[in-house]
Amino acid sequence: APLVGNLIGEDHVNYVLMYNMLTGIRIGVSRCGAKIKRPLTPEDFMARHKFSFDIVGNELTPSAKYDFKFKDYAPWVFRYLREDIFHLDPADYLLSLTAKYILSELGSPGKSGSFFYFSRDYRFIIKTIRHSEHKFLLSILERYYEHVKANPHTLLSRFYGLHRVKLPRGRKIHFVIMNNLFPAHKDVHETYDLKGSTVGREYPEEKAAKNPRAVLKDLNWINRGNMLELGPEKRALLTEQLRRDEEFLKSIQVMDYSLLVGIHNMQRGNRENVRKNTLKVFSPDLPEPRRSKASQAGSKSPEAIAMRRAMRSSDPKRLGKHTVRLPEEDTGDRQEFVFYQDEGGLRATDDNNEPMNVIYYLGVIDILTPYTFVKKLEHCWKGMSADRHKISPVPPVEYGNRFFAFMKAVMRGGEGGEKFKEHVKRE
């Protein structure tokens, strides 16, 4: 459900980091966005732009509250991903991430130690990632770009940016910006993180009863007798897209990813009024870009002018359609995509393709773990047998096949349901 996590105020331990991330994004993204669009070149996939922030400011970077360095990776590629492939409005993107409304932090929900932050309107997630994941994403960026370009309805995580913040004492924090699969305007009544494995894949049901926001796993799904209710049409579309995404994941040799499933029951509706909470959000007071000579002499394209105006403005009224509020319904980017077009998700249908009162929010997440990396981890754990079961490293092709078999089996009427049950019995 929306607005989980803690809002980050100035006294929060990660306030400075958050401030630096947002300031860097704001300057990096707007700088690239203000340029006239040109075709991508192979060099764009290798490009890195560095920014140095300090309390004084200079021609390139406005003054900031803290000293830090910011690195923007492949900015043109991510601009194309955002604008041409994932249909984000550039001004919306910047405002969501950097308007004067603070992020909320989900802390570290996984075992990996990553932190998750939501944009103030809940549309975007910033996830801190390991250096190895960062390097890996750069190494597959061109293939990822080609895949999502050829598959606009992909279920894979949508990466909108890859950045690094370096703090004065040298600590480097890598992070990606991606889509929040869950909607701002709908309660998610049940959440599942499904991998197609049963080993250690159960969230205790006693705890789940007390915590409706718990992320449940494969065995909870199976034991509760859940099924994705999708009529023949949607089932065929989803199966085909998952098959293609799966082929891609096998080709880049990753594993440990999962299908995230959020279930909204339309009869239960919404318990909380999300918007009421949102406007109480604390203001972090991001720096106003200084009207330096450089920026005055910048591009005069209408696009750039509008962007700069939007960037400078912190007053919702001055932002025209970009007012600071949560969307009541998903218009905009999600409408473009088959699996996200029903109120930001995929509405259940019956055997005759007639709508049912459930909306699913689906996506394949955590796709940056190459097999070699997991093998190394496993190696470290040798002798710590208690931890061994937490991960069941199988090679990417086997992982992918098992994952895809399970995903077909979780759809009512999907292929392979019986076969999968046998497989589960054997495991």
Stretch that binds ligand ATP, among 9-17, 51-59, 180-188, 219-227 (CB under 6 A): 180-188
Q: Which of positions 360-399 make contact with Ca ion (CB under 5 A)?
A: 366
Taking CB within 5 to 8 Å according to partner kind, which of ligand ATP, Ca ion, none is near residue 109?
ligand ATP
Q: Select the residue interacting with ligand ATP from 34, 91, 156, 215 (CB under 6 A).
A: 215
Check: CB of residue 164 under 8 Å from CB of residue 70: yes
Task: Confirm or reject binding of residue 239 to ligand ATP (CB under 6 A).
Answer: no
Tokens encoding 68: 């830090």
Query: Per residue, what are the HEC states of 236-260?
Result: HHHHHHHHHHHHHHHHCCECCCEEE
Tokens encoding 283: 């203001």
Question: CB under 8 Å, gap of 24 or more: what pairs does 138-147 form?
Answer: 138/45, 138/73, 138/74, 138/162, 140/252, 141/45, 141/74, 141/77, 142/42, 142/45, 143/248, 143/251, 143/252, 144/252, 145/45, 145/77, 145/80, 145/81, 145/85, 147/245, 147/248
Stretch that binds ligand ATP, among 49-57, 263-271, 313-321, 363-371 (CB under 6 A): 363-371
For residue 161, what is the DSSP state? E
For residue 218, what is the DSSP state? H
Q: Select the residue interacting with ligand ATP from 7, 22, 165, 181 (CB under 6 A).
A: 181
Distances (CA, A) of 351 to 89, 224, 231, 266: 37, 21, 5, 19
Taking CB within 5 to 8 Å according to partner kind, which of ligand ATP, Ca ion, none is near residue 180?
ligand ATP
Instruction: Specify which residues 406 forms β-bridges with.
Output: none
At 288, the amino acid letter reads E
Q: By C-beta, is 111 or 280 nearer to ligand ATP?
A: 111
- Least Å distance, CB 142 to ligand ATP, is 22
Count of residues of this chain found to bind ligand ATP when the rule CB under 6 A is applied: 20
Q: Which of positions 96-155 make contact with ligand ATP (CB under 6 A)?
A: 109-112, 114, 116, 125
Q: Select the residue interacting with ligand ATP from 101, 144, 182, 340 (CB under 6 A).
A: 182
Task: Confirm or reject binding of residue 362 to ligand ATP (CB under 6 A).
Answer: no
Mask of contacts with Ca ion, 86-125, x by CB under 5 A? --------------------------x-------------
- Least Å distance, CB 365 to Ca ion, is 7
For residue 390, what is the DSSP state? T
Q: By C-beta, is 245 or 366 nearer to ligand ATP?
A: 366
Cα distance between residue 339 and residue 157, in whole Å = 13
Binding site for Ca ion (CB under 5 A): 112, 366
Interface with ligand ATP by CB under 6 A: which residues? 109-112, 114, 116, 125, 157, 178-182, 191, 193, 215, 260, 363, 365-366
